[in-house]
Each structure stands twice: as structure tokens, then as C-alpha cells.
């Protein structure tokens, strides 16, 4: 016989007549026979070796479309991909069906985690899970490092009891027993026996205050390096620049009904040279922008019963080229306004060119306002750690 060709719109070959019997297409080879058949007793479609349906199967498909293989599976090609799942909201897994224990690698779809666990049900008894941020969680259990001749009783064991390492046990990295000269791990100086408990906490640092020269081990882009406390302090920053300035001499005859800048002219300190003792203004520069806490304590008086008396901080917004007054302190008519003290502070986001100053105003009807100097009147400020 030769080739059989079936033409038409919907060509079909039907093998069997719906009775309880096996139906087979047999490939009769020289060395091996193969078949594709319906195993009617199992209601499975089989691909197998030989000519007898149901014996030596290679692949079977049941009524639920579950596919079972009976041999090895090899995927070839340039970039072979095995996809498990169809993007539906369901767990997918590879289950290792063991004699005494089952294990699985699965997608726990409810948690959106890749899980390696004990048993056959995804999400139960997990050992390792990886979430969408690639964070790895190890559940219960311990991590044992069994390196060279070490076992879990004297090697490095996370989750167990850590003990001071001996010289023979320090071949963790390269499998070669470390010498004393090789143990200068931290400071570049040959370590003593007492210094070798770097890992197990055998010797505590205690409560002694840190010193600038003390060493700190850091991960520098994946490489462990040594630095010191001074470098860390520089990185973290501090509350500088800062200034504290007082008014020196008293100021008499302050003009009536006019806002007058108070000139604090005696510097206690001004680390950034940002306060001007001639104008009474603190000016932020481009290198020190950010959040500033600025305040003052000022004593003033008017020897008459003035209508009102004010002491207020003023802020110059350089971007809007506008002065703003806030937090003014007021006394009213009928009070003898001698030695009136006020304190104010404000937290501002200062940009380049922004300014702060304190001003005084009174309505006594005479140019007799008075600002106390000496140690009665101060202005201060500092930049917060950013």
C-alpha cells in the first residue's frame, strides 16, 4: 500500500465504534514498535512502546486532561522554556513525591511568593519563600555550614549555639587552616587570641563610649572595608552651621510707630559666618539650604503707657522677594511696659538668600523705646541634620 490522503473541509479518521475495546494506531518498526491508542479499561489516551495497549506507556492523558510521563523529558532548543500555569489566580507547583517525605517548589498565588516547602500542598510547611521584592525568608529551621572537616557541632551555625572559633576552625573560606598572621581581618594588625572572637560575640564591647578613631566594618558596594567613627559622623552630619549672638549695649530712643531692626552685635559663635552683626540679619547661603530652627529672646520696654508694643521675627523669602512678619508679641494700653521679655522660635525651610531678623515697634507717642542689651537679648539658630 502507499499513501492515504483524506481531503475535504473537515477530514476525520475515526478508530473504534464506541464499544468497550481498545482502539490503536500501531507503528510497526524494524527494531521497535510504538502505538497511539485508547486504553478503554483506564479511559486514557496512551503513547507507548510495543504493540500491546497499556504496556510500557510513555505518555498518558486522562479524562481530566492530566498528562503523565513515564520516562525522562529533555527540552532542547536555543532558549527552551517550561511554563507552569496560565496566569490564572491559582497555585502552581512541582511536587517531589518521595517515599517518606514529599517536597514542593510552588507559586503560592494568594501570597505571590515562590515557596520551597515540605509536603505537597503549596503554602504549608514552607522552608524558603521569595516575595515580589526578592526578599528571602527562611522559616523556622537553621542554616548549617559544613565546610571541609567541620560538622554542625563546631562549624558556623546560624540558628544554633555559636562558640568561639579555634585556629583550626577558621578555614571557613578557603579550606586551609589560618595562621596567626592571617587573622588581621579587622585592623591590619596581627590579632591576638582574644581578638579572634569577632563573629561569636565572645568579648562584648561593653558600655564604653565610642571614640573617633574606633573602627567600624561596613559593606562598601559588596566589599567589606574598615572605616572609623569620624567618617561615619561626617556622613551623618550634625546641626551646623549654627549661630548664637547677643545684644551688647542697651539701645535707647527707639523711634516711635516704626518697625526697627534689633542689632544683636556680640557673637558667642557663628560657625557658618551667616549672621551679620551690622544689619542684624541671618542670611542663608547656597551651601546651607534646608530646614533651620531660628529663635530669639529679647527684652524691651517703653517708659510710657503706649497704645501697643510689638517684638516680631521677620522672614525674607528670596524667591518671592517679600518680607513676612509672624509670631509678634503684643502688650496693650494701660500696662506700664517696662522690661517686657518675649521669646519666639520657628522652623523654616530656608533657601539661598532667605533672611531672618527681629524687629521692635512701639506706639508711645515719643521716640523713647528701649531695647535691653547685655545678656537680656539673644538671637540663635542652627541647621537641622538633613
Which residues partner with 301 through β-bridges?
370
Whole-model pTM over 0.85 = no
Cα(341)–Cα(321) distance, rounded to whole angstroms? 30
User: What is the per-residue pLDDT for 316?
Assistant: 97
pLDDT tens-digit readout, 264-286? 999 999 999 999 999 999 999 99
Hey, what CATH topology would domain 242-383 get? Jelly Rolls (2.60.120)
Edge-first strand order for the sheet with 136-138 is 92-96, 103-108, 113-118, 126-130, 136-138
**Domain boundary assignment for the chain:** 23-69, 93-138, 157-233, 242-383
User: What is the per-residue pLDDT for 366?
Assistant: 84
User: What is the per-residue pLDDT for 162?
Assistant: 43
What cell does 335 get? 500696662
What are the 10-residue block averages of pLDDT along the chain, 386 residues in total? 83 86 89 91 90 91 90 90 87 91 92 92 90 85 52 44 49 49 49 50 66 84 84 83 97 92 97 97 96 94 71 95 82 57 92 96 85 94 90
Amino acid at each position: 500500500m502507499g499513501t492515504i490522503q483524506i481531503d475535504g473541509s473537515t477530514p476525520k479518521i475515526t478508530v473504534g465504534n464506541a464499544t468497550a475495546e481498545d482502539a490503536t494506531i500501531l507503528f510497526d518498526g524494524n527494531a521497535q514498535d510504538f502505538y497511539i491508542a485508547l486504553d478503554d479499561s483506564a479511559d486514557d489516551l496512551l503513547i507507548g512502546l510495543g504493540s500491546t495497549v497499556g504496556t510500557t506507556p510513555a505518555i498518558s492523558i486522562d479524562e481530566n486532561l492530566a498528562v503523565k510521563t513515564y520516562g525522562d523529558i529533555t527540552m532542547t532548543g536555543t532558549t527552551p522554556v517550561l511554563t507552569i500555569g496560565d496566569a490564572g489566580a491559582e497555585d502552581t507547583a512541582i511536587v517531589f513525591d518521595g517515599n517518606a517525605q514529599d517536597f514542593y517548589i510552588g507559586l503560592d498565588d494568594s501570597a505571590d511568593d515562590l515557596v520551597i516547602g515540605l509536603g505537597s500542598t503549596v503554602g504549608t510547611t514552607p522552608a524558603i519563600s521569595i516575595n515580589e521584592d526578592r526578599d528571602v525568608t527562611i522559616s523556622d529551621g537553621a542554616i548549617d555550614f559544613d565546610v571541609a572537616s567541620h560538622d554542625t557541632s563546631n562549624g558556623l551555625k546560624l540558628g544554633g549555639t555559636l562558640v568561639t572559633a579555634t585556629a583550626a576552625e577558621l578555614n571557613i573560606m578557603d579550606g586551609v587552616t589560618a595562621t596567626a598572621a592571617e587573622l588581621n581581618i579587622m585592623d591590619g594588625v596581627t590579632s591576638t587570641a582574644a581578638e579572634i572572637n569577632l563573629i561569636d560575640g565572645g568579648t562584648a564591647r561593653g558600655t564604653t563610649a565610642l571614640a573617633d578613631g574606633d573602627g567600624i566594618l561596613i559593606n562598601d558596594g559588596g566589599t567589606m572595608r574598615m572605616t572609623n567613627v569620624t567618617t561615619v559622623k561626617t556622613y551623618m552630619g550634625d546641626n551646623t552651621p549654627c549661630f548664637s549672638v547677643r545684644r551688647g549695649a542697651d539701645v535707647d530712643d527707639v523711634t516711635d510707630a516704626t518697625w526697627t531692626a534689633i542689632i544683636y552685635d556680640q557673637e558667642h559663635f557663628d560657625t557658618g559666618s551667616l549672621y551679620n552683626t551690622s544689619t542684624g540679619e541671618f542670611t542663608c547661603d547656597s551651601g546651607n539650604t534646608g530646614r533651620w530652627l531660628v529663635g530669639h529672646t529679647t527684652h524691651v520696654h517703653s517708659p510710657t503707657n503706649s497704645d501697643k508694643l510689638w517684638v516680631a521675627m521677620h522672614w525674607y523669602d528670596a524667591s518671592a522677594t517679600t518680607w513676612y512678619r509672624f509670631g509678634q508679641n503684643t502688650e496693650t494700653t494701660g500696662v506700664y511696659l517696662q522690661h517686657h521679655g518675649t521669646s519666639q522660635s520657628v522652623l523654616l525651610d530656608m533657601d539661598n538668600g532667605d533672611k531672618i531678623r527681629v524687629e521692635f515697634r512701639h506706639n508711645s507717642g515719643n521716640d523713647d523705646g528701649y531695647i535691653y542689651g547685655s545678656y537680656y537679648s539673644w538671637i540663635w539658630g542652627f541647621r537641622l541634620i538633613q
